[in-house]
Structure 1
Amino acid sequence: MVMIRAIIRPEKVDETLKTLADAGYPAVTKIEVYGRGKQKGLQVGSVFYDELPKEMLMIVVDDEVEEKVCSLIIGTARTGEGNFGDGRIFVTPIKKAYTISSKTEGL
């Protein structure tokens, strides 16, 4: 199992969630986050924005579908021209997962 954390533009969240659900991956956690990437923020005229609003989607999937899920996210969350600030995806291994209500291990 792997956890995929996708930090994307807020305006791309609904479309990305729909794409994931339509592909059979409806179980997602969504968190509002703030941050900046390599560009170190954004300057518009004399105003500097140090932290920009983003959304983080977290999804745990089996190893064999990791690339498929990442491709779905990239294909949906990327702006047409691929701009700075489109986001980042982090993939980490998951040792175990438990469902609290049923006390079962696994997805």
Structure 2
Amino acid sequence: MNIKIEASFSDIPVSKFCYDIDRKKIEIYFPGYHDVQSGDYVEQNCCCVIGNWKEAKSKVYNDDIFFNLDKHIGIFSLLLHIVHSNEFLEMIINTIDDRYIVLRFVASEVTCEVVNF
């Protein structure tokens, strides 16, 4: 059974990453999370899913111009920063080849759940 959570993932390494190009879906798995309500670290596997976006763009952290998502996407190592508003979701990630990438998703669906894997 999956349980929905409000979580932060600062300094928590990504344990699994899946990108489904055709279904417009990214799954990011973590070995734990920081509970937003209590501020405590919870050592339970969880998964954040970003999907059904209208538009997705990417850029190298210090660049000014966004490109198509596929131009810069790589395997996630750390999720460094995330901002979610009514209009878009923006994240700064570090990849396993040590690049800092900004991803922006317009009109996306986002869920985070405790999972068994």
Range into which the TM-score falls when normalised by the shorter chain: under 0.3
| Structure with greater proportional strand content | 2
| Structure with greater proportional helix content | 1
Higher RCO (CA < 8 A, seq sep 6+): 1
TM-score normalised by the chain length of structure 2: 0.25
